[in-house]
Amino acid sequence: MIPRASLFLLLLLLTGCTNPQSALNAEGSSALALKDLILLIVLVCTLIWLAVVGFLLWSLTRRREAARQDPQTERRMRRSVYTALAITALIVAGLTLASFNATRHLDAGEGPEVVIRVKAQQWWWQFTYPNADGEPAFQSANELHIPVGRRIRLELEALDVVHSLWIPSLAGKLDMIPGRKNILTLQALRPGTYRGQCAEFCGLQHSHMAFAVVAETAADYQRWWLAQAAPASLPQTEEARAGQAVFMAKPCAACHTIRGTEARGSTGPDLTHVGSRATIGAGLLERTRGSLAAWIADPQTLKPGNNMPLVPLSSDELRQVSAYLDALK
Ligand code: CUA
């Protein structure tokens, strides 16, 4: 019984090692403090469990004696109860102190911050990157880029219902509440791509409200920032040019922005550099020309209830629009 339980625990821990969305795969300063706390609590609880089960087995296999009611037995029993109470109180106090200590490390690091505004809505994420003066420089969706080693200040808002931002590898979760701004600071210690997920049930597509966090070196981040701040590149192929014309003529431009064109809508995600993102639909599908076409052709089957309407397009138009969007690097 005991070896099997330990094996299960070990397997449980190992599953966290490769998962891009696991608090045990800690790559941020806050996440490391939380991981230590999780492991400590698991260890203490395992020891308690083993002690309780061991004691139970021991008492079951013991030769039965008739219960005596003499004063000596009573004293012994009372002593046992007080000892157990004292040990329990010590354990709870120890875990409480460890928890306070971990909480102190949740405000990640010191020094100048990189501020990014995050807006959650059913069912996607909007990221606004301010320029040096604090004015919005550009927006992106469902892919958050941050420089490694810097203190990141995420200003969290929700536009419709309560959501919750959680990047288990980098930090603890924080709720996003309509009408209120919450602040989450975090710091990535190593470059990598981590998965973030909405952690508060927010409707039908709650589980399809994910995003990628790309932590990169200062130089890579700077390169990415400048590329994203630039307006969309001009379509290079005949097909993409036709796609741009279709996009502007159809209702697409009323809901989406593509900077550098007349598309200025703000209902849906900013698509200025959609071709540079790894996924579409808030982590729903890998971004390829094919998945873009599939999404546009039938968004309600892929993600029922989302705000993207079905825009009737011919198969040629569909091919052209997906070629245009895919080329928006
Ligand atoms: Cu947003 Cu769950």
**Hey, CA dihedral for 198, 203, 207, 212, is it positive or negative?**
negative
Residue type, 20: P
* Residue 245 CB neighbour total at 10 angstroms: 15
Q: Which atom of ligand 1 is nearest to the CA of 123?
A: 1
Q: How many angstroms separate the first and last alpha carbons of the chain?
A: 56
pLDDT classification of 24: cutoffs 50, 70, 90 = confident
Q: Helix 29-61 and helix 71-104: axis angle, to 10°?
A: 170
Residues in the chain: 329
CB-based burial, 53-75: b 16+ in 10 Å, e otherwise: eeeeeeeeeeeeeeeeeeeeeee
pLDDT of residue 104: 82
H or E stretch including 104?
helix 71-104
The predicted structure's pLDDT at residue 72: 85
What whole-number percentage of the chain has pLDDT above 70?
Answer: 92
Q: What is the pLDDT of residue 54?
A: 94
Distance 116 CA to ligand 1 centre (A): 19
Please tell me if the CB atom of residue 204 comes closer than 6 angstroms to any atom of ligand 1. no
Backbone CA torsion sign across 192, 280, 221, 172:
negative
Task: Please compute the mean of the pLDDT values over residues 186-212 and round it to a whole number.
Answer: 95
How confident is the model at residue 326, as a pLDDT?
95
Find out whether the beta carbon of 158 lies less than 6 Å from any atom of ligand 1.
Answer: no
Q: Which atom of ligand 1 is nearest to the CA of 206?
A: 2
Ligand 1 near 201 CB (within 6 A) = yes
Give whole-number Cα distances, 176 to 154, 166, 181, 198, 200, in Å.
Answer: 11, 10, 7, 10, 9
What is residue 76's predicted lDDT score, i.e. its pLDDT? 87
Query: Which residues, other chains included, contact 315 with Cβ-Cβ below 8 Å and sequence gap of 6+?
Result: none
**Is the pLDDT assigned to residue 179 strictly greater than 60?**
yes
- Mean pLDDT over 188-205 rounds to 95
* Range 216-237 average pLDDT: 94
Give the residue-averaged pLDDT of 25-29: 88
At residue 173, the pLDDT reads: 92
CA of 278 to the centre of ligand 1 (A): 20
CB 144 within 8 A of CB 196: yes
pLDDT of residue 61: 86
DSSP for 38-92, please give it: HHHHHHHHHHHHHHHHHHHHHHHHSPP-PPP--HHHHHHHHHHHHHHHHHHHHHH
At 165, list the tokens.
């931002």
DSSP 24: T
Q: Considering only CA atoms, which residue is closest to atom 1 of ligand 1? A: 163
pLDDT of amino acid 82: 94
Answer whether residue 199 shows pLDDT above 90.
yes
**What confidence tens digit (pLDDT) does each residue in 233-269 have?**
999 999 999 999 999 998 899 999 999 999 999 999 9
| Those residues with Cβ within 8 angstroms of residue 317's Cβ, 6 or more apart along the chain or in another chain | 243, 246, 250
Q: What integer pLDDT is reported at residue 112 of this predicted model?
A: 73
Alpha-carbon dihedral angle through residues 252, 253, 254, 258, given to the nearest 10 degrees: 120
Question: 158 CA to middle of ligand 1, Å?
Answer: 10
The reply to whether ligand 1 has any atom less than 6 angstroms from the CB of 282 is no
For residue 200, give the ligand 1 atom closest to its CA. Answer: 2
pLDDT tens, residue by residue, 55-98: 999 988 877 666 667 888 888 889 989 999 999 999 999 999 99
DSSP for 121-190 reads: ETTEEEEEEE-TTSSEEEEEESEEEEETTSEEEEEEEESSS-EEEE-TTT---EEE-BT--EEEEE-BSS
- The number of beta carbons lying within 10 Å of the beta carbon of residue 106 is 17
Nearest to 1 by CA among 59, 62, 52: 52
